[in-house]
Amino acid sequence: MNGADHDLIAAASAKITELYEENKHHVGAALRTKSGKIVDAVHIEAYIGRVTVCAEAIAIGKAISEGEKEFDTIVAVKHPYSDEENRALKVVSPCGMCRELISDYAKDCFVILNVDGETIKTEISELLPLKYTRNS
């Protein structure tokens, strides 16, 4: 973890702090491209869970829509719900679908996550080992 990684966490934190809305947006993500650009987004909650779109997916789509195709590092931050006692923002791990998406679009991307109370940075391949490959 370096200063740029802490800046990325700060960007995701700022985005979800700004746009948090109970039952609509409680996770923010920030993606740093290899060109150094930071793209941030929030997740979109839906009453029917399978329609919900994760913040990481929206950040990836936003980056691609802005012409960015090479990704360096991504992080997601969860805002506490109004009934949670601990009001701290938390770095969270990407779900399985987001792990697939990150790997599909940036197989050498780094992910910042929390493991046993420690914020770490790891390669997406560590979170999605033995990913399928096309047979030649």
pLDDT of residue 133: 66
Q: Please give the domain boundaries of the chain with CATH numbers for all domains.
A: 3-127 (3.40.140.10)
* Statement: residue 69 has pLDDT above 60: yes
pLDDT of residue 114: 94
| pLDDT one-digit tens code per residue, 90-135 | 999 999 999 999 999 999 999 999 999 999 999 999 998 877 766 5
pLDDT of residue 134: 60
Amino acid, single-letter form, for residue 123? E
pLDDT of residue 83: 84
Task: Name the residues annotated as catalytic.
Answer: 56
Which of 81, 67, 66, 62 is closest to 16 using CA atoms?
81
53-71 burial, b at 16+ Cβ within 10 Å, e below that, comes to ebbbbbbbeebeeeebeeb
Q: Supply 124's token pair.
A: 């997406």
Could you write out the DSSP letters of every residue in 15-57? HHHHH-BTTTB-EEEEEEETTS-EEEEE-B--SSGGG-B-HHH
Which of 71, 68, 74 is closest to 94 using CA atoms?
74
| pLDDT one-digit tens code per residue, 8-59 | 999 999 999 999 988 889 999 999 999 999 999 999 988 887 888 999 999 9
Q: Quote the CA–CA distance of 13 and 3 in Å, as a whole number.
A: 15
Q: Quote the CA–CA distance of 63 and 57 in Å, as a whole number.
A: 10
| 3-state SS, residue 68 | coil
Which of 133, 16, 124, 125 is closest to 73 using CA atoms?
124
pLDDT of residue 8: 97
